[in-house]
A and B are shown apart, each in its own frame.
Chain A
Amino acid sequence: MTTEIDHRVDFESFVAARSQALLRTAYLLTRDHALAEDLLQTALSKAWFSWHRIETHPEPYVRRILVTTYASWRGRRWNGERPTEVLPETADRADGAAAVVDRHDLAGALARLPRRQRAVVVLRFFEDLSVAETADALGCSTGTVKSQLHKALAHLRIDPALVVDTKGGPR
């Protein structure tokens, strides 16, 4: 029989072991260190109330809370975020400095992605989840994930045809 004390020990161990990795995901979502910490703590405190059910495999559940909480924070001010539908065209660069400039462009473009699209990108290409796992984490259909991913890559000026679902088969 699992007791409250067992739950607490497991939970504290999980926070100690995995919270820094989850903080990186939270940062990629929020692009703000303070908001990332806030988001992580919110997700962990929510997870505690379901700990008796998830303790054998908590990370996917906590990650799901993280992204769904992030997606639902509509009323918050997001420093530096300026969502736009279409990114401005930029000139091709062939010199050595171009890569650095591109990197900044990509970082800026990521920061400008709408929230759900950014979540899809982070889960697919940072967490390396399959389309099905991403859909599960976001609580939506795989079709929604694919369409969000398509739009996100278009915003990032990446050919959506490059995307292969390495875990869940063809996208």
Chain B
Amino acid sequence: MTDLDDLRAQLQRDAASVTGAPDPARLGQVQRRIRAIRRRRHGAMAVAVAAVVAAVAVGVPVLVGRGTGDVADRVPEHVTVLGFDYTIAQAAGGVRGGAGVTVELPPGDLQRVALVSAAHLPDGSQVTLFDQYDRVVGRLVGGGAELPPVPIDAVPGTLRVAANDVTDDTVLRLTVYERTDVLPEGITNGTAVYRQQVGGATLVEGGFLPDGASSVSFQVEGPLESLAFSFDCARGADTGVVGSMAIDGDTVVSGRCGPRSIAEDAGTSWTRPGNDADRLDARIHTVTIFTSDRVFSEESVPFDGVEMGVGIYRAGPAVLVSGAHVDQIIEANGRLWKLEEAPGRRVRLAVTETDEPRLIGIVAGGGDPLASVGLARNGRTGGTPGIQSATGWSLTRIVWPGQSPTLTLVDERGRPADGSVLVYRPLADG
């Protein structure tokens, strides 16, 4: 018969077989496992990156392909878009005199951005990037070196760069990057993040429902009309999970949680609760997110495997256009944009070849709240999403350098509609 001292001594001896310093490769191997887990968790997601911010190329430029010594040979290993880090995955081009480059995108579950660069592009020439659906998603004009990285849908297909009026010296390159697991600054649960800055809005508070909890509350300074909320939830195995958000005890959002994880970029779907007078009185507001088994139930019920979070943002600057508060600074297509003008229901834009692109929005101006309002381009409707008058404002399309369309606000029958076209210009360094 042995005793406990023998047992403890034996355990110490056995443990002593683990000797030496920590394996320096361990952290890297753990990080690879984390990335693999994250990919599995987000494997079902095929979400287009709808809105992207300041795209800044960072890191050490690397030479790819056959070097010609030009700017198009040196593409960064990493680019940062919206604060998210992307690493180089595919590259094509780099040949002098080439008028086109293509990249075949394989199936994948990571978010992607594409970077187009060109060297020795003569004045008057254009380089256009087409996505997997053959839509124009970027354009570079003579003299430019590279486009800001452009978000690309996470579906397989062909990315294509076409150029006109190139010379024998022109070098084009198309580089595709995939998102890494480095998240931007903000409030995170390890896989999703409420970014510190979204467009003109600044994160002030927020967080995620702890495991096993049915509710969590946050305190935030008002007034409510200055706040915007990004709230989302994803259920576990139980399909009956309802996610709700209450402000000062009043439930303002309630709905069934979806099956997919909260998007990695969590702070992009906004709720702006009404400005009830009794809520405006209180300077400090209590925001509670909770799970329940019925829509707009006030009784919280815990469920396993629920992912739920809220980001509370101080809204950015806005202007009143046709009765709607329109954000002056927004994110779209990989960059920040600033409202340049709201010229009314009809405008002829003349974007010259050397000018910057314009992002177009529409705001409906009252009338029948259920009437649909859309944008006609050169008198033709279709191809751009419309909005209902009651829903305020929306973004529609980008006008690229070299295009001069006439844009008109129309109803669903093509008749003139009240409201205004919104014209945004890229924000400097955005």
Taking beta carbons and an 8 Å cutoff, which residues of A are in contact with B? 1-5, 7-8, 12, 15-16, 19-20, 23-25, 27-28, 31, 33, 36-37, 40-42, 44-46, 48-53, 102-103, 106-107, 110, 121-122, 125-126, 156-159, 162-163
A27–B15 alpha-carbon span in the complex (Å)? 7
Tell me whether B30 and A15 are in contact (CB under 8 A): yes
Does B37 sit at the interface, judged by CB under 8 A? Answer: yes
Tell me whether B26 and A126 are in contact (CB under 8 A): no
Tell me whether A41 and B7 are in contact (CB under 8 A): no
A5–B1 alpha-carbon span in the complex (Å)? 54
Give the residue of A7, A23, A157 whose beta carbon is less than 8 angstroms from that of B190: A7
Tell me whether B190 and A51 are in contact (CB under 8 A): yes
Does B368 sit at the interface, judged by CB under 8 A? Answer: no
Tell me whether A20 and B183 are in contact (CB under 8 A): no
- Which of B2, B3, B33, B191 has the most A CB atoms < 10 Å from its CB? B2
Give the residue of B7, B29, B33, B183 whose beta carbon is less than 8 angstroms from that of A121: B7
Tell me whether B188 and A126 are in contact (CB under 8 A): no
Instruction: Closest B residue to A7 by CB, please name it.
Output: B188
Report chain B residues within 8 Å CB of A158.
1-4, 6-7
Interface residues of B in 1-17 (CB under 8 A from A): 1-4, 6-8, 10-15, 17
Tell me whether A4 and B4 are in contact (CB under 8 A): no
Does B21 sit at the interface, judged by CB under 8 A? Answer: yes
Report chain A residues within 8 Å CB of B7.
106, 121, 125, 156, 158
8 A-B pairs with C-beta separation under 8 A? A2-B187, A15-B27, A19-B22, A19-B26, A27-B18, A48-B190, A159-B1, A162-B4
Q: How many whole Å from A86's CB to the nearest CB in chain B?
A: 15
Does B402 sit at the interface, judged by CB under 8 A? Answer: no
Report chain B residues within 8 Å CB of A31.
14
Give the residue of B8, B23, B190 whose beta carbon is less than 8 angstroms from that of A37: B23
Instruction: Closest B residue to A157 by CB, please name it.
Output: B1
Tell me whether A106 and B185 are in contact (CB under 8 A): no
Tell me whether B29 and A41 are in contact (CB under 8 A): yes
**Which label, helix, strand, loop or mixed, suits the secondary structure of the A interface?**
helix
Tell me whether A4 and B188 are in contact (CB under 8 A): yes
Does B182 sit at the interface, judged by CB under 8 A? Answer: yes
Give the residue of B6, B18, B187 whose beta carbon is less than 8 angstroms from that of A23: B18
Tell me whether A122 and B18 are in contact (CB under 8 A): no
Does B367 sit at the interface, judged by CB under 8 A? Answer: no
A16–B28 alpha-carbon span in the complex (Å)? 11
Tell me whether A107 and B10 are in contact (CB under 8 A): yes
Tell me whether A102 and B15 are in contact (CB under 8 A): no
Instruction: Closest B residue to A99 by CB, please name it.
Output: B6
Q: How many whole Å from B374's CB to the nearest CB in chain A?
A: 40
Per-position contact with A for B170-193: 1 when CB-CB < 8 Å, else 0? 000000000000111111111101
Give the residue of A4, A23, A27, A52 whose beta carbon is less than 8 angstroms from that of B182: A4
Q: How many whole Å from B92's CB to the nearest CB in chain A?
A: 32
Q: How many whole Å from B232's CB to the nearest CB in chain A?
A: 17
Give the residue of A1, A36, A103 whose beta carbon is less than 8 angstroms from that of B18: A36
Tell me whether B22 and A27 are in contact (CB under 8 A): no
Report if A28-B11 is in contact (Cβ < 8 Å); known contacts: A53-B211, A102-B2, A162-B3: yes
A44–B211 alpha-carbon span in the complex (Å)? 18
Q: How many whole Å from B161's CB to the nearest CB in chain A?
A: 33
A156–B193 alpha-carbon span in the complex (Å)? 50
Instruction: Closest B residue to A23 by CB, please name it.
Output: B18
Tell me whether A45 and B37 are in contact (CB under 8 A): yes
6 closest A-B pairs by CB = A45-B33, A24-B15, A4-B183, A49-B190, A126-B11, A3-B185
Report if A125-B185 is in contact (Cβ < 8 Å); known contacts: A41-B26, A107-B10: no
Tell me whether B191 and A33 are in contact (CB under 8 A): no
Report chain B residues within 8 Å CB of A15.
22, 26-27, 30
A66–B182 alpha-carbon span in the complex (Å)? 25
Q: How many whole Å from A34's CB to the nearest CB in chain B?
A: 12
